[in-house]
Structure 1
Amino acid sequence: MKSNKILSLLAVAALATTVLVGCGSKDEAKALKDGKYEANSTADERGFVGQVNIEVKDGKIATVKYDEINAEGVAKSTDEAYNAKMKEFGSASNPKEAFPKLEAALIEKQDATAVDAVTAVTTSSDSFKTLAAKALESAK
């Protein structure tokens, strides 16, 4: 009986320590240095380069701009033919619709790893998350 009490006490102590440590790390993760941060990918198999620009104000992500640019300098989000083609093939989303969702999610969640992928643009979503995390490394 005495050993059950000791085990219970140790379990409670371990749980309390875990909770306290977890809370401290969340607060530290939110403290970012103010400034403008950028990250670019290498060209993918279709020649598009992902670009993210993030502005941090008052320690928080304030603005985010993401797009993928081809060799001719045309952005996926503004290429009406590209976006129409994605819709034509039955895509649930396209860059013009998806990129603003990713940007808004990062501002809301303040953590690139917490941003969910947008349906039908999973590769771009993954690129966005990777580049956002890379850009924010300089802000820590």
Structure 2
Amino acid sequence: MTGELSVAEAGIAGPGDCAGFSGSNRPRRARVAPRTATSGMCARYASAACRARSTARPTTTLHNRLVVSCRDEILEVARILSQRQPDQTFRVDDVVTAMVDRGTKFLESTIQYHVMVVMCVNAKGRDAGKYPDLEHVARRRYRLVQK
């Protein structure tokens, strides 16, 4: 020997010697928990209590009624606001103000987007008319759709 150590003698890990080295320059992917046969979900979420915690949505109350989503809160406020006008219309700003006064957890921009796009029948865009609840009748004025 000329004083040089081989890779094995020096203790340097080669391909296959290290758990994170798979022979390529990329590290191995982390192992995923096995799926259960009955539910098709990860074994970590197999218990009913754990599933309930992971799928629970934040809730608020409005007029002693359980309100789950931004859409539900908007519909509740829109019904009240539409009764105040003879033509049964309301402004987006009125909806935002009423919801903020009631202590909503949603941002003003989220409320505006829901009213102007997501819940509007005659809106344009990616999420337009997802829920056909409101109809655009004039600039920033909306009316509840009669079902």
Asked which structure has the greater RCO (Cα within 8 Å, sep 6+), the reply is: 1
The structure with the greater share of residues assigned to strand is: 1
Provide the TM-score with structure 2 as the length reference.
0.25
The structure with the greater share of residues assigned to helix is: 1
